[in-house]
Amino acid sequence: MEGLFEEFPALSRAQWEAKVRKDLKTEDVSGIQDQLLFPGLIQPAYCDKDLRSDRLKQYRNITAHGDDGWQVARYWANVQRIRGKDPQKLNEQALEALNGGADGIEWVTKTEAWSTVLSGISLPHCLVALDSDLANCEIFLGKLVERGEDFQGYLVIDELINCDTASLADLVRHNPRNEQFRCLSLRENSNCDSMQEISYLLTQAVAMLNALMDEGCPLELITSNFQVQVTLGDHYLWEMCRLRALRILFHQIMLQYGHSNYRASDLMIRAQTKVSPELGMLQNTTQAMSAILGGCNILCTMPHEEGSTSNMSARVARNVSHILREESHFHQVADPIAGSYYLESLVEQMCRHLWTNVQKIESSGGYRHAKQVAHG
């Protein structure tokens, strides 16, 4: 390594822009800014001068495992989402997925036959989750507690922000597995752009914090139950930065509330692919790569033929994560995008823009008011 950096010296912005002008045969590099994602945000060339401050350096390697017994640099859970009504079929599909290498199961159902659904599933060795209404989620958590085993996972409660706050407070207080099992999954169901989704998720967190603290829930108890769900888009590098910006700003909000012990790595981010049947497998792979490199904790890769009775598309989707881990070795690198002038500059600009959006929403009445205005 000695002499390496002398052989490859750092280049200035002027040198990079000269290279761009030569290769693209253009004199006006300002005209090639990316206008698709965010006008003027993505520049034609980057250098170390684009990193305005050293503040974001503290967020490098934040999801990496240290000397705590882990044998890999990064870990994410590969969770398969299963939708249905028949308890027996839900159980069979779950066992097939777990035996096929899934790290966890997320059921989308309304049932009380959890003894059947959970039959043969070793709770200490996988994640279990439910996407349903509050009443069903309460039943599910109660059944997990009854089993008398350690368990981990999460709840995705329909219309969480509109649920009875007292009931949510009771659910959080009676959750015996805080941090390991998250009861408060924040997600944004409205049809909004990628930046608006993050702004809404952050202000939704503020609204939930305020409401539950008014019910007497301690700040630390609430935050240990938070999980944020993000729907992935097609723009590869953009999505990495978006997840990173979400984690950074969530941490900043916790600091604003005086939660000095909250670490950026404490946030649980669940990323879900969004695919079309025509480009499904390719989109699944690139979106999954973005999520992992951006620092997700849970990856839910949707089948490219969602709704099909065939198990093949579910298997292909599940194997995307296996290939990225076992063959591409994404788990062996702690933070592969750290230090990139372009990506870290983009994260910094995203954070500034998103923080301004959050302040505007909060000063105008908060998340609920913003949603009412957006829906007319």
18 in any annotated domain: no
The whole-number pLDDT of residue 36 equals 47
Domain contains 105: yes
CB atoms within 10 A of CB 309: 6
Q: What is the CATH number of the domain that holds 111?
A: 3.20.20.240
Answer with the residue of higher pLDDT: 269 or 20.
269
**How many domains, the chain?**
1
Q: Examine residue 147 and state whether it is found in any structural domain, yes or no.
A: yes
Torsion, CA 212, CA 213, CA 218, CA 224, rounded to 10: 40
Position 190 in a domain: yes
Count CB neighbours of 294 within 10 A: 26
Provide the H-helix boundaries in 9-133: 13-24, 87-99, 114-117
What residue numbers bound the domain in which 349 lies?
76-270+341-374
Q: Judge whether residue 309 has pLDDT over 70.
A: no
Q: Which of 7-16, 31-40, 215-224 has the lowest mean pLDDT?
A: 31-40
What number is the average pLDDT over the span 157-161? 94
Three-state secondary structure string covering 189-215: CCCCCHHHHHHHHHHHHHHHHHHHHHC
- Across 17-26, 190-199, 233-242, 304-313, least confident range: 304-313
Task: Give per-residue pLDDT as tens, 84-118.
Answer: 999 999 999 999 999 999 999 999 999 999 999 99
Instruction: Report if residue 194 sits inside a domain.
Output: yes
Q: Specify the range with the lowest mean pLDDT, choosing from 165-179, 273-287, 342-356.
A: 273-287
Report the C-alpha gap between 130 and 116 in whole angstroms.
15
Residue 201 resides in a domain? yes
How confident is residue 290, by pLDDT bands cut at 50, 70 and 90? very high
List phi, psi (to 5°) of 126.
-155, 165
Does this model's pTM top 0.85? Answer: yes
172 occurs within a structural domain: yes
